[in-house]
Amino acid sequence: MFDDNESNNEEVRSVEKKALVIEDDKNIGELLRLYLEKDGFEVTVAENGDDGLALALDEKPSVILLDIMLPGMDGFAVCREIRKKSSVPIIMLTAKGEVYDKISGLELGADDYVTKPFEVKELIARVHAVMRRTDGMETDKEKKLSFDKLTINLDSYVLTVNGVKVEAPPKEMELLFHLASSPNKVFTRNQLLDEVWGFNFYGDSRTVDVHIKRLREKLEGVSDEWALKTVWGVGYKFELSGSEE
């Protein structure tokens, strides 16, 4: 009887955790499958971008490991299309280590970025980290903030500026929401990396700067009542005019 219950519990856990691996290298794909299944995931592997995108939208995985260099549609294009319909955690995998490629992936909405060759155990730890952050956001009571001519809705991941829906990747939305949740509070770049991207994210401060720049392009001059402000030598804040510091 004990063994049957244990078996049923294992089955429930595996169904709840679904991983999609989009990787054209069969050896890497199989290695990730083995480690993820050992960790309790139900795993699907796609070997090209078009199949991977279809599976991402049809199967609704808990996390996606996405290679950049893929046959057909590349990883950047796949990430862009997924983000139009889903906020599923995405970890990008690539042999490229240039800062430009890393930032490009993050700007499109990836949650983390791992350069090959990588330690599989470290990658699994990052999978758990991005899923914890997603689960944590789902339990937040307040997911919608409204200011003059600005609404940030993390229930639907919709940013409305001056009455118009504005396209913004999930990380931009999460960064703006985090800053706006504590008006006039100054956050350092490292704080924002820890609190928005997660403690286990191995990024640098330029990641925050790029996202702030993108947000300013969407928000500059919209209202006199609030603004994204740089505090030189410290970090950033969402400033409300007329509010107590």
pLDDT tens figures, 90-108: 998 887 666 566 667 777 7
User: 215: domain CATH number?
Assistant: 1.10.10.10
**Same structural domain, 62 and 105:** yes
Q: Which residues of the chain are under the pLDDT cut of 70?
A: 1-16, 96-103, 133-142, 199-205, 242-245
Taking a C-beta distance cutoff of 8 angstroms, is the pair 60, 34 a contact?
no
**Of 18, 29, 24, 176, whose CA–CA distance to 89 is shortest?**
18
CB atoms closer than 10 angstroms to residue 7: 10
CB atoms closer than 10 angstroms to residue 210: 17
Task: Output Rg (C-alpha) for the chain, integer angstroms.
Answer: 19
**Same structural domain, 8 and 54:** yes
Cis peptide before 61 (omega within 30 of 0): no
Backbone φ, ψ for residue 215 (5° rounding): -65, -40
Pairwise CA distance, residues 200 & 133, whole Å:
10
**Same structural domain, 72 and 153:** no
* pLDDT at position 233: 87
Residue 41: give the domain boundaries: 2-138
184 within domain boundaries: yes
245 within domain boundaries: no
**Same structural domain, 130 and 207:** no
**Same structural domain, 121 and 176:** no
Q: Which of 138, 155, 184 is the last residue of a domain?
A: 138
pLDDT tens figures, 172-225: 888 999 999 999 999 998 888 888 877 555 556 688 898 999 999 999 889 999
**Same structural domain, 49 and 148:** no
**Same structural domain, 64 and 47:** yes
Q: Domains in the chain: how many in total? A: 2
